[in-house]
Every structure is written in C-alpha cells, then in structure tokens.
Structure 1
C-alpha cells in the first residue's frame, strides 16, 4: 500500500500567517509604501506565534524586495514597506539558474522577447516630457560607457541601467521589472564568461557601437529597427562570450 503522506497537505508554517496578513493589508490599503510594520513583539502577539517566526517572515519579505530593514529607532527603523519587484525575481531566478533548472540560454531568449517587445511598443508621444528625460539619461549612460578603460563591472552596471531605462518607454511596469530581473539573474555568469581584460576590451568596443545604434533607433521612434538591433546585440554578446 502506497503512503499518502507525500501528497497530503502540509501544515502552514507559522511565519506564513504574517505574510498573509501583510498581503491582505496591502490589498486593502491599510498598509502603503513607506509605512513601517509593527514591531516583532506586536506581530508575534497579534498572530499568536513566536518572535523567531516573525523574524522569518520579515527576512522573506526583505528577500522579496517588499520591505527594507534597519536597526535603531525612528520612522525609518525596523521594517519599512517598499516595492522593488526585480530584487525578489532576480534572486529567485539566480538560484534556479545556479541549480541548472533554468538555463542561461532560456534566460537570454526571454530577455530578447521582453526587450524587443518593449522597443516595438515604445510610444515617445504618449508622455513627451518623460520620454525626453529617459533619452537624456540613456545618452548620459552611453557617454559614461564610452570612457576608455572603464572597469568591467562599472560597464555592466551602466549597461543594465541603459537597457532597463529604454524598456521603460513601453510604459509597462511588469515588463520593466521582469526585464531587469532577467539581466540581474545572469549578471555574474555574463561577467565571468569573459576571461581576460584584452578580450573584454574588444567586446566592449562592439557593445558601445551597438548601444549607440539602438539608442538612435529608439530616439527616432523606429521601434522595428530598435527591436532588430536589440536582438542582434543580445544574441551577439551571448554567442561571443560563450566562445571565449
């Protein structure tokens, strides 16, 4: 006779009651971005659980990008509600990539789908002031990336900001967060794939030229061209880095 223990419902962990309550309070508007969560003792008493279980819940919320924790006293101490969805998504993706349950190739393909969609969906006229600001900031990032001898990690950071900002022109916050999380989830694998500084400098030269082409197409409102250049850019770097 087969045991049914594996298929039987698992008892809820104590910290899950805190997560459920916070989710409900966010949905109802009782909790808002910037609000401070009650202290450990108050949450423990309210939910009838230990303070250790409360700390588990806060750590999970922190890892999910839902709260920022700090010590001390005052309005910014303890756990303050924030919302940084890319943090939680990227952390989860990074672990699954590391476990080899998600391949870097699949992450790259997903990123291409998101970025090319965002490029084709960008509408510079829907909010001209914001569009002009995004294009100004991305132009500044290009200038920073063009500095000779720029440190590789600095380049990757500027590169990430450039792509995320351009994707924001599509006006879809979910796509923007997902795209950033996909980039962050493989950032270490990308930086480690290029072994030598000499090889990196050759690659960086091409990346700079590609970035400028993408930026020009976006600024001109040519979504199809920007999408094509983005696909070529991402595929080229992934292929090139795998060969080194």
Structure 2
C-alpha cells in the first residue's frame, strides 16, 4: 500500500464563478444540448437558474462573445439575448495575433506551421478543387495584377489566395485555421513588404508563383502543387526574413 504522505499533491484551484458558468455551457455544447442558433435564457432567468449573480453571468457571456461562441444582442424579446453563432468567429485569430505580438512564437515557428498546413491543402486542392474554386482563385490573381495596389492591399489578396486554396481542399477546419493564421500575421507580412527595397519586384515574383500553383491545381497535379507551394513559401521567408530553407519541416513526409 502506498503512503499518501509521499504521493504528489496538487494545489486546490479556486474556480471563479464565471468559469463555472462557462464550464456548464461548454458541457452542454459537448453533450449536444446546445447548438448554433440556440438562445440562452434571459439574463434574469439564467442567473436564477444557475444561482449566480448577474455580474458573474455577464462576465461569462463577455468571454464567450470574445471567443466568438455567442452573439450577445441588446434588447428584449426575440431580438435580444445570447445566441450561439452558426459559424467560426475571429476569436482564435485575435488570440493568435496577440500571442505572436508578445513573441510567444518565432518566425521559424510560423514558417514551419505554414509549410505543414499549406503543403497538405495544396495536395488536397489539386484533387478536389471544383470549377467554381478555380474561377474564384483566378479572380483573386487577376485582382493582384492591378499595378495601383498598395503593399497592404496586395498582401490582403495574397492571403485570400492561400485561404481560398485551403477552402477548396474540402476541410473547413484547415480553412479556418489558415484564415486565422494569415489574419494573425498580416501586420508582419505588410511590414516585411514595406521594408523591401522594391516590394513590387517581389510582388511580381509572387504573382508568377501563384499562377504556377494554380495551374498545377487546375491540372490535378498534386505532386507539382506541393513542390511549388513549398518553394514559394520557403523562398519568401528566406529572402524576406533571412530564414534558411532548412528551417522547414520535412514536408515530403506530410504528403498524403
């Protein structure tokens, strides 16, 4: 029999009231009792059901709203109250952007994550992209050809191109993660372009590489799409951030 005196003990954690409220809501979501479009009881009724103060309840709802889980609407009746959203919100992108700003993740971390994700979605897009997807991607690239674009506008379209590839891969989670990642690094990308001696020269290369990637996807050549995306990303990071190509993971092992 083990001696309890020598077993490791864990500190007792004091859980705040609003965290308990969130835990109950999370459990009901996990159990399938709450789904997108469902409405929580009124603040007065809900606080009575939970036997918590209204300020504690409001704090829980504010956190859930910031995470993009609920939409808290002012007013009474059918127009007001807290409703579970039916689409992913920006909460993850906002959190990731703050984490990056605080230096919790390096440029190498971002590079490796982008490579792992974008190599996979490029291969899947080459297999699954529809005619509508190709048309949408072509439209993005046509807009990138505008010579009057600013560095910020060009980067926004650059992100849209990569996110659209992820969307055409048929995996909504990877598409949302790609969108969140690009949103989080937008400021870094714009700064990188603006610090170049001639960002339009780099943009010309980027546009050409984008066209080559789209062509590979359109002809259903997954292997070529993977190779082109890998080279596209690693070359940009090497030229712009000074990161060696060896910084990336062995993405050949990630190919489906």
- The superposition leaves residues 128-182 of structure 1 with CA deviations (integer Å, 9 ceiling, x where unpaired) of xx72221111111111111111133222222222211211233222222222222
Unaligned runs of 5+ in 1: 1-5
- 8 Å contact 1:97–1:104 — kept in the other structure? no
**What corresponds to 1:3 in structure 2?**
none
Coordinate RMSD, CA, aligned: 2.5
Tell me how far 1:111 sits from its aligned partner. Answer: 0.9
- 8 Å contact 1:69–1:77 — kept in the other structure? yes
**What corresponds to 2:162 in structure 1?**
163
Tell me how far 1:30 sits from its aligned partner. Answer: 2.8
Name which of 2, 9, 13 aligns with 2:16.
Answer: 13
Count of residue pairs brought into register by the alignment: 234
DSSP-derived class of the 2:71 partner: strand
TM-score, normalised via structure 1 length: 0.84
Tell me how far 1:114 sits from its aligned partner. Answer: 0.6
Tell me how far 1:195 sits from its aligned partner. Answer: 2.9
Q: Does 1:151 align with 2:150?
A: yes
DSSP-derived class of the 2:82 partner: strand
Instruction: Find the aligned partners of 2:204 and 2:77 in 1 and give their Cα distance.
Output: 48
- The superposition leaves residues 87-120 of structure 1 with CA deviations (integer Å, 9 ceiling, x where unpaired) of 2322222222222221122012101111101222
| Change in 2 beyond 3 A, CA 1:65/1:119 | same
Greater gyration radius: 2
Taking the TM superposition and a 5 Å limit, the aligned residue runs for 1:190-201 are: 190-195=189-194, 199-201=198-200
DSSP-derived class of the 1:9 partner: coil
Q: Does 1:41 align with 2:40?
A: no
Unaligned runs of 5+ in 2: 1-8, 243-256
